[in-house]
């Protein structure tokens, strides 16, 4: 499923982000950039141990929630990994939507700075961090669409959703944005 936004393409697929042939892959990391489970564990396993050592060497202070930092991608076919720290869901009243939108904008800016043609996002914060999938989809897709509308450089933005429930939530929101 895809739409065109400005000069860019925004698409949704169901699958494993580590298998994507695309310039940049976004990791749903923690603020210590310490590795972990979920998509973070899958990306570090696929990339190999150099990814964790590079991250620790370049960013010993970690990364603030709502922001992202870039490394190379080890054994992945991607060129870059953007380690993005989404918010933990605490009910929605402590700035979670702003932080989730901010982390998407930050990764999109990194993609342009690194001359990427394409970037793949997982559903940041919707696993261990507990963000409701439908609300996360609204914020992630809304922030991405707003960014692409004002970006002249063509970019492929692919959301790679791991399971059918997450894919369905993102697909419903993308359809509603088209109305």
Q: Which is nearer to ligand AR6, 74 or 86 (CB)?
A: 86
Enclosing H/E stretch for 84: strand 80-84
Minimum distance from CB of 149 to ligand AR6 (Å)? Answer: 26
Minimum distance from CB of 129 to ligand AR6 (Å)? Answer: 3
Enclosing H/E stretch for 4: strand 2-5
Q: Which is nearer to ligand AR6, 6 or 11 (CB)?
A: 11
* Orientation of helix 164-178 relative to helix 133-149, angle to 10°: 50
Q: Which residues bind ligand AR6 (CB under 6 A)?
A: 16-18, 28-30, 36-40, 42, 86, 122-129, 160, 162-163, 166
Strand arrangement of the beta sheet that strand 8-14 belongs to? 2-5, 8-14, 156-161, 118-121, 24-28, 80-84, 68-72
What is the radius of gyration, based on Cα positions, of the chain? 15
Minimum distance from CB of 117 to ligand AR6 (Å)? Answer: 20
Q: Which is nearer to ligand AR6, 6 or 54 (CB)?
A: 54
Minimum distance from CB of 163 to ligand AR6 (Å)? Answer: 6
Catalytic one among 40, 50, 115, 163? 40
Q: How many Cα atoms within 13 Å fall on the side-chain side of residue 81?
A: 30
Q: Which is nearer to ligand AR6, 8 or 27 (CB)?
A: 27
The tokens for 109 are: 């800016």
The torsion angle over the Cα atoms of residues 162, 142, 152 and 87, rounded to 10 degrees, is -70
40 is catalytic: yes
Name the residues annotated as catalytic: 40
């Amino acid at each position: 499923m895809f739409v065109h936004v400005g000069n860019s393409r925004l698409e949704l697929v169901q699958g494993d982000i580590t298998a994507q042939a695309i310039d940049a892959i976004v990791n749903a990391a923690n603020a210590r950039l310490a590795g972990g489970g979920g998509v973070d564990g899958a990306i570090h396993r696929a990339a190999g141990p150099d990814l964790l050592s590079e991250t620790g060497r370049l960013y010993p202070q970690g990364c603030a929630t709502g922001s992202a930092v870039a490394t190379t991608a080890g054994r992945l076919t991607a060129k870059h990994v953007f380690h993005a720290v989404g918010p933990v869901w605490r009910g929605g009243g402590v700035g979670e939507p702003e932080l989730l939108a901010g982390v998407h904008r930050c990764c999109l800016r990194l993609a342009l700075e690194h001359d990427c043609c394409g970037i793949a996002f997982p559903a940041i914060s919707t696993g261990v961090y507990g963000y409701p999938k439908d609300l996360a989809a609204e914020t992630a897709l809304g922030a991405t669409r707003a960014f692409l509308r004002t970006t002249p450089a063509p970019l492929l933005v692919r959301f790679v959703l791991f399971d059918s429930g997450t894919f369905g939530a993102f697909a419903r929101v993308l359809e509603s944005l088209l109305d």
